[in-house]
A and B are shown apart, each in its own frame.
Chain A
């Protein structure tokens, strides 16, 4: 599986955009980039995923660089409820195995 690297922690002001980076320089051509988050005392929650193109849904946007070696998750208007650990995961080719790294603890401040 391709390994991912994320900053251990980030802070963001409420109402501002939160941009969470992820490096996955060894990603293979058929591996997807997935983002999940885990709010304290809850199970992980799926946010978004992509292969090559940028993606947007009601929660966030995913920007993948042209060489696919890095990506950025964007929460356009962060709220206090977005405080969580955010995991960037590159799936192995069968898609069945999610290997979680240490993630980024995002703290949204009032």
Chain B
């Protein structure tokens, strides 16, 4: 069982669609993360939120737009994605710095 819940588990979208990925945690963690994982590759950090403010953006294209409405919720808004954006998108949270990250099981995204 995972304490970080990601929805949907699977998403298929066209290149002109707009969709959002959702991540939720109720552990009181103040840091939340988005990672992207291509098939047979390690996860790569995309964004870090600390106390609901964006603290790290790893030069991610603007077609990915993160949002942290409150301390329990993290969204990733998707628009005009490319086929190469097909991947597993992982969300994680941690109490703070130098503390372990708890991961969800991801959203598997396919771009047609």
Question: Using a CB–CB distance below 8 Å, which chain A residues touch chain B?
Answer: 32, 34, 41-46, 49, 87, 91, 94-103
Contact = CB atoms under 8 A, between A and B. Distances in A.
A41 B100 contact: no
Contacts of A45: 103
Interface residues of B, number: 23
A4 B42 CA distance: 13
A62 to B, nearest CB: 13
B44 A96 contact: no
B104 interface: yes
B22 interface: no
Interface stretch (B59-67, B72-80, B90-98): B90-98
Minimum-distance CB pairs A-B, first 7: A43-B103, A100-B42, A95-B97, A46-B100, A95-B98, A43-B105, A44-B103
B50 A41 contact: no
Contacts, number: 48
Contacts of A102: 42
A29 to B, nearest CB: 14
B21 interface: no
Contacts of A34: 100
Given A43-B103, A43-B105, A103-B42, A94 B90 contact: no
Contacts of A43: 2, 4, 90, 92, 103-106
A101 B4 CA distance: 23
A37 to B, nearest CB: 11
Contacts of B4: 43
B56 A96 contact: yes
B55 interface: yes
Contacts of A91: 98
Contacts of B99: 95
B42 A87 contact: yes
A101 B2 CA distance: 23
